[in-house]
Amino acid sequence: MSPYLTLDDVDVAGLAVLVRSDLNVPLDGGAVADDFRIEAALPTLERLVDSGARVTVCSHLGRPQGVDPAYSLRPVAARMAELSSKAVVFEDEEEGQIRVLENTRFLPGETNNAPALADRLATGVDLFVQDAFGSVHRAHASTVGVAERVKSVAGPLLDAELKALGRFLEEPDRPYSLVLGGAKISDKLAVIQNLLPRADAILVGGGMCFTLLAAKGIEVGDSLVEPEMIQSVKGLLQGYDEEKIILPSDMVVAEAFREDAAAETVYIRHIPKGTIGLDIGKETGALFAGVIRDSNTVFWNGPMGVFEWERFRTGTERIAHAMAESSGFTAVGGGDSVAALRMLGLQGEVDHVSTGGGAGLELLEGRILPGVEVLGRWAQ
Ligand code: ADP
Ligand code: MG
């Protein structure tokens, strides 16, 4: 039995439906800078309209402390109106088919799930559709409070995320590999801990590999290391077959943390003092790409280097192409990894692109997501 109901289980015709979407998009100068989350959210809203529901959608945007016009969802609603075939309106504007509410973080009581706010959000709502995968790891009024009060189901986007990422927690087709990178090992150590017993290989690049290398006694120059994590990393390495964790064999090192810094590729045991590792080397890229190609299940989170700068993008590019070319089940998660994939135009070439950064990591850590758990009460 499924732990929650979905839109396939309910008839929404004539119902007032509140959808919690993830419209937390980047803004630039008051306009939407990236449509990814809007494009992901719209099909659910349009499906509800086509099924005869009266649709209202809410979301948070950024982390304002109370009302702050810089974080208004008004420009997001305007962009949705451009991208959708339906009539999208904002707050109390004229009649429309999809009504977008103002930023939930403007409402006192959202982040501490205050009963008064949850009551208010649930008022007049016949059905709540949770479709914001990126927010279900938070127990807020708009994720948990409202779902305690009215009949609630998982939206298609949330359902797809849970099914796709759930594969990495169950018995996936082997070989099963993880590719991890990005800035900090502290963000992702719990994921490694939970998935190490399940995966056949964990490939580590990006800034986070240096804490692992340092824990193994390798000199990493001035590369990004989290000294307070070294003990936990050592503990992790001791408990497992070390060969499962594949670290870079070569590295692109730079004289400074700068876009135009002079750079060279060195073997991992020859990182010169005073230099900073900013990308995996060619040999490592080829090694990682080979493992990805030979895997039947691969999850990638975290760029292999400072991909924002062209000079240090090669490793991330290599991994993105290997993911696209792999015939296995491939999923990519993490805001920056997805941005890199989209920058390369490869988002359509992997099996699953995850919209949720933190929520995806918490799911892979094996933690219970409160915004999903609460849906269970309606599935009895
Ligand atoms: P994601 O959003 O995909 O989960 P993270 O937020 O963990 O990824 O990390 C992305 C950031 O990591 C990028 O801004 C990138 O520049 C940075 N990064 C990658 N490799 C390095 C490195 N070697 N040194 C410093 N920063 C790095
Ligand atoms: Mg990030």
Q: Are strands 201-204 and 245-246 parallel, antiparallel or unpaired?
A: parallel
What local confidence, expressed as pLDDT, does residue 196 receive? 92
- Measured by CA distance, the residue closest to atom 16 of ligand 1 is 306
Enumerate residues with CB within 5 Å of ligand 2 (an ion): 335-336
What local confidence, expressed as pLDDT, does residue 130 receive? 98
CA pair distance 328, 322, nearest whole angstrom: 11
CA pair distance 240, 196, nearest whole angstrom: 8
The verdict on whether 37 is a catalytic residue reads yes
What local confidence, expressed as pLDDT, does residue 1 receive? 62
What local confidence, expressed as pLDDT, does residue 335 receive? 87
DSSP 206: T
Query: Looking up tokens 């759930």, which residue turns up?
Result: 166
Name the β-bridge partners of 240. none
CA pair distance 169, 191, nearest whole angstrom: 11
Catalytic option among 47, 74, 167, 184: 184
Q: Is 155 exposed, middle or buried (0-12, 13-18, 19+ CB in 10 A)?
A: buried
pLDDT one digit per residue (tens) for the chain, 380 residues:
689 999 999 999 999 999 999 999 999 988 999 898 999 999 999 999 999 999 999 999 999 999 999 999 999 999 999 999 999 999 998 899 999 999 999 999 999 999 999 999 999 999 999 999 999 999 999 999 999 999 999 999 999 999 999 999 998 999 999 999 999 999 999 999 999 999 999 999 999 999 999 999 999 999 999 999 999 999 988 877 778 999 999 999 999 999 999 999 999 999 999 999 999 999 999 999 999 999 999 999 999 999 999 999 999 999 999 999 999 999 999 989 999 999 999 999 999 999 888 899 999 999 999 999 999 999 98
Cα 23–chain centre separation: 13
Cα–Cα nearest to 176, from 197, 159, 207: 197
- Measured by CA distance, the residue closest to atom 5 of ligand 1 is 182
Q: What are the angstrom distances between the C-alpha of 263 and each of 214, 255, 275, 281, 310?
A: 21, 7, 9, 11, 12
- Measured by CA distance, the residue closest to atom 25 of ligand 1 is 207
Residue ranges around ligand 1 (CB below 6 Å): 181-183, 187, 206-207, 224, 277-278, 301-303, 305-306, 308, 334-337, 357
19: left (phi over 0), alpha (psi -120 to 50) or beta: beta
Question: Reduced to 3 DSSP states, what percent helix, strand and coil does the chain have, rounded to the nearest 5?
Answer: 40, 15, 40
Catalytic option among 285, 328, 335, 357: 335
CA-333 nearest atom, ligand 1:
3
